Amino acid sequence: MKVHITNIYGVTGIGLKAQQAAAEIAKRDLQYQELGIYFYPVDSDSPDMLRTRLDGILASVSPGDVVIMQSPTWNDIRFDESLMNRMNRYSGLKKIIWLHDVQPLMKEAKREFLSRWIELYNQADLIIAASQNEVDVLRSHGLRVRKTVIQRMWDCQVSVDRTLVPRFQKVINFAGDPSNEPKLAFARNWKYDNITLAVTVNGGSWAQGKNIRFLGWYNNDNLLVNALRRSGGFGLLWSEDAYWREYMRINASYKFSTYLAAGIPVIVPSDIAESDTILRKNLGIVADSLDEAVERVAAVKEEEYKKMAEDTEQFAWLLREGYFTRKVLTDAVFQVFAD
C-alpha cells in the first residue's frame, strides 16, 4: 500500500505555495508519492483527452492505496469532479480531501457552486479541514463525511536570521498589497497617527499623507520573514469586508503563519479559529475592532512585548520545521483506517 498526495503546477500565488510546501513535506518526511496536476484550461480537453490526462496522473495508484487530494486544484471544478470520479473506479482506494480553500466561501460570486463542491467532498472517506468552524459550516450545507481531521495552521518553513531580534516598536506590519484589493481597504484608509502601518509593497500614492511606510515587496519567504523581524512590532491579520471576515473565521491563513514564523507577535480578530491559541500561548493581541487593536498596541509596555516575542519565537519552531503538516497528514492516514 502506498500513500499519494496531489500537487499543483502552473499556477501562481499562495494556492501554489501552500500545496507545494505540503507535498514537499509529505514526500521528504513521510515518503508519500506525488501525483502532479497541471493548471490549464479544462475546456481545451475533449472527454477522451481528459480521461487520458487523469489516467496519467493516477498511473502510480493501485487499488487499496490512499490518495490525499489537495483541494481545490484551481482548475475548473469539472476537473476536480472528473478526478474524483476516476479515483472511484479503484477498488478499496481511500480518498482524503484536504481543504486548502473552499472557493464558494471565499468569493460571494461563486457561492452558487457550493452544493457541487459539497457533493465532491461527500465522496471522500475523510476530510482535512482548517478548523472545526469550517467543518460545522460545511455540515450545515450538507457535508456528510463522518471522519474529519483538523489542520489548525499552515507551516511556514523558512530560515530566519537570528541576529535580527524583533524589536519593541509601535508598528503594525501587514504582509500584502492593499492598493487594489477591496477586502484590504482598511490599510488604504489607515487613520492612526500614533501607530505606523508597515506594508510589504514597494510604494504607492494611496499611502500619501498617512502614517504608512513600505518594507518592499518580496517573492521569497525567507526574505519576507527577515524583513518582518527587522521591522519589529506586530503582524496584522485583518479585513473589514463582511464576506471575507466570515471566511477568516473558518480558514487557516498562510499570512498568519508567516508572521508567527517570522517570530513577531500577531494581531487577529477575536472570532478566528485560533484566537484561543494566541491568548493561551501569549502570541499576540486578540481584538474585536481595529480601533481596539491600535489602542492595545499603543498601550503595550516593552517588557510585555519582549515576553510575547519570546513566546512567539518558541512557537515558531513548530511552523518552521513542518510539524503541523506532518501531524495532520499522519493523523489523516491513521484515522482513515481507524473506526
CA distance 175 to 104: 24
Q: At 49, is the secondary structure helix, strand, or coil?
A: helix
pLDDT of 12 reads 80
State the pLDDT at residue 300. Answer: 98
DSSP state of 176: S
**What angle (nearest 5°) sits at the alpha carbon of residue 335, between those of residues 330 and 338?**
135
Q: What is the pLDDT of residue 318?
A: 98
Nearest to 233 by CA among 267, 279, 192, 188: 267
Q: Which residues of the chain are in CATH 3.40.50.2000 domains?
A: 3-152+322-337, 171-321
What pLDDT is recorded for position 94? Answer: 99
Rounded to whole angstroms, the Cα distance separating 301 from 75 reads: 48
Q: What is the DSSP letter of 111?
A: G
Q: Which fold has domain 3-152+322-337?
A: Rossmann fold (3.40.50)
What pLDDT, on the 0 to 100 scale, is given for residue 73?
96
Q: H or E segment at 333?
A: helix 323-337
Kindly report whether the peptide bond that precedes residue 72 is cis, defined as omega within 30 degrees of 0: yes
**CA 20 vs CA 24, 242, 259: distances in Å:** 6, 30, 20
**pLDDT of res. 196:** 98
Position 259 scores a pLDDT of 98
Fold category of 171-321 in CATH: Rossmann fold (3.40.50)
pLDDT value, residue 239: 94
The pLDDT value given to residue 242: 93
Q: What residues are designated binding site for UDP?
A: 183, 253-258
| DSSP three-state, residue 206 | helix
Q: How far apart (Å, rounded) are the C-alpha atoms in residues 243 and 25?
A: 32
Bind-site residues: 183, 253-258
Specify the pLDDT at position 4. Answer: 99
Residues of the chain short of pLDDT 50, as ranges, are none
